[in-house]
Amino acid sequence: MDFTAVLAQIKPKLGCVSDNLTLIEEQITNAQDAGADLIIFPELALSGYFLKDLVPEVALRTDSPEIKRLIELSRGISIAIGFVEESNDYHFYNSALYLEDGAIGHLHRKVYLPTYGLFDEQRYLAHGESFRAFETKFGRFGMLICEDMWHLSASYILAMDGATTLICLSSSPARGIEGDTPGSAAAWQKLVSTTAMFLNCRVLYSNRVGFEDGVNFWGGSEYVAPSGESIVRAALLEEDVITVQVAEGALRRERIISPLMRDENLFVTMQELQRIAEKRRG
Amino acid sequence: MSALHANMELLRKLLVGFVRDEVRKVGISKVTLGLSGGIDSALVVFIAAEALGPENVHAVCMPYKTSNPESEAHARLVATACSVNFSVVPITAMVDAYFDIFPDADNMRRGNKMARERMTILFDHSALLRALVLGTSNKTELLLGYGTLYGDMASALNPIGDIYKTQVWQLSTAMGIPAEVIEKKPSADLWAGQTDEEELGFSYRQVDELLYRMVDQRLTRPELIAAGFEGAFIDTIYAKIQNSHFKRRLPVIAKVSNRTIDRDFRYARDWGK
């Protein structure tokens, strides 16, 4: 079905869950008042990104008052949001929740925690172990958190699991000053567009802005159609909130024009991956 | 051959945004910095004026009696060009009072003392004006260790620490810094006729090409030689980076507890901001 989504390109405060929750609630109210069906926040919107030893301090259980409050708000508008999740066995995950009609529709724990260059996630966080598509009011979705999307298999699995909409929550730092946009922004735009095109999926990408310890997050949240075409893109380097009209017809047409997913041979893929896995086991 | 070409519009946006965001998020609206008459501090003051408004920027020129009078004139020219607050605090009396006790001190000791004298004045202005101190060391200097620890290397925020001298020139041109400041030979101005490039033994443009490939692109020694750099030059620069690394780190703390600052007690500086 057609739906209206809002990409909330916010600037969370590092380690300040209650301030961030206030900001997030404000955005939710605005989006709902404007008649949007879904609002998507960036990765770790409730906590900020370079948390280091703050991870256990800002972590929330899914039954915490803060999350319960967001679940309550999802009666009026569907919400996708990133936070640090504390599990029953006291592991801490970089997680994203999809909330709808007053319930948790899906919980994704970031599988690929970047630990190289300026990233240090694996030191502080536990990694998720699954990619699962899930049903929403707007069709079947798949959820990714930032680095997850750089692994082809992640989006592929979600698409094969029937997702026709991928939502990606991101806290992507700007680096590279040679081109018109930060090098990382250009790389992401290519990635999002290519992923959409290869998998005949629409992608809703929500990235944050602001600085943490001199590192800039570049924003540029966007809605990319299943053709790979960027339909709406938010401002670079500035807070922005964009509203996108997601048309079901565009998805249907694209899947008729280039039925890559229909023709994708899961059997061959599985057989070859199985063979490779067996060879690796020795 | 230059691999250092950058998009000046983007760079300007990032650095202006950096100053605006990192200053304001700590609840402060002003900055202060030393304006030497050279290009690095000229660029930083231009960036700060654009980020916070010139009325919120206080530049201090701190000449010593042997400083080239042209330096103060250039500092004044730059301050006027970007309309920031400007004052002159000479350091001769303080520095001379100290070296009356150590009359045999060499140029290096005197230069370091001057740099640290200026640092104390800037941090005093920080308290006086409720302003953060902006650093003006570029990436070339920081990597080569061509600066005084706790002197000109001390600051709260450094907008240009990740851009090479070559890029400082490019951005200065793009931001309209007065030409005489861009075109003159870089100098620490510690004694008459001193120039950086003479003291270092190579030009900034030369070393920036090497540093960019060595540090940013991580080319190996054979790859650098194949790219046309001399082995001896590569080794000299590598050694300079290695031997000055202590200047780029906090003081080393002897670990005895289970949680030691900066080793297993790790928080971002922007914690809670």
- Axis-axis angle for helices A65-73, A17-33 (nearest 10): 10
> Which of the four pLDDT bands, split at 50, 70 and 90, describes residue B192?
confident
Question: Residue A83 is which amino acid?
Answer: F
Residues of A in contact with B266 (CB under 8 A): 52-53
- Give pLDDT tens digits for B174-187: 999 999 999 999 99
CB contact under 8 A, B270 and A53: no
> Which of the four pLDDT bands, split at 50, 70 and 90, describes residue B189?
confident
Q: Does B218 touch chain A (CB under 8 A)?
A: no
- Give pLDDT tens digits for A162-189: 999 999 999 999 999 999 999 999 999 9
> What CATH class does A3-281 carry?
alpha beta
Instruction: Work out the mean pLDDT of chain A and round it to a whole number.
Output: 97
Contact call for residues A183 and A175 (beta carbons, < 8 A): yes
Distances (CA, A) of B243 to A241, B106, B147, B150, B251: 48, 21, 13, 17, 15
- Give pLDDT tens digits for B77-123: 999 999 999 999 999 999 999 999 999 999 999 999 999 999 999 99
Checking if the pLDDT of B3 tops 70, the result is no
Contact call for residues A15 and B272 (beta carbons, < 8 A): yes
For chain A, give every domain's residue range.
Answer: 3-281
Closest CA to A162 of A141, A136, A187: A141
| Cβ neighbour number for residue B116 with a 10 Å cutoff | 18
Residues 27-66 of B with CB under 8 A from A: none
Positive or negative, the CA dihedral A58, A62, A65, A67 is positive
CB contact under 8 A, B270 and A54: no
Mean pLDDT over A235-244 rounds to 97
pLDDT at B1: 47
Residues of B in contact with A13 (CB under 8 A): 25, 272-273
Best residue in A20, A180, A211 for a mutation probing chain B (most B CBs within 10 Å): A211
Q: Work out the minimum CA distance from B11 to partner chain A, whole angstroms.
A: 6
Contact call for residues A234 and A7 (beta carbons, < 8 A): yes
What's the DSSP call for residue A174? P
CATH, domain range B8-248: 3.40.50.620
Q: How far apart are CA B63 and CA B88, in angstroms?
A: 8
- Give pLDDT tens digits for B196-212: 999 899 999 999 999 99
- Give pLDDT tens digits for A153-163: 999 999 999 99
Contact call for residues A168 and A203 (beta carbons, < 8 A): yes
> Which of the four pLDDT bands, split at 50, 70 and 90, describes residue B2?
low
- Give pLDDT tens digits for B52-73: 999 999 999 999 999 999 999 9
Residues 101-140 of B with CB under 8 A from A: none
The pTM of this model reads 0.95
Contact call for residues B152 and B68 (beta carbons, < 8 A): no
- Give pLDDT tens digits for B12-29: 999 999 999 999 999 999
Distances (CA, A) of A202 to A45, A166, A195, A222, A263: 22, 6, 9, 11, 18
Checking if the pLDDT of A200 tops 90, the result is yes
- Give pLDDT tens digits for A50-65: 999 999 999 999 999 9
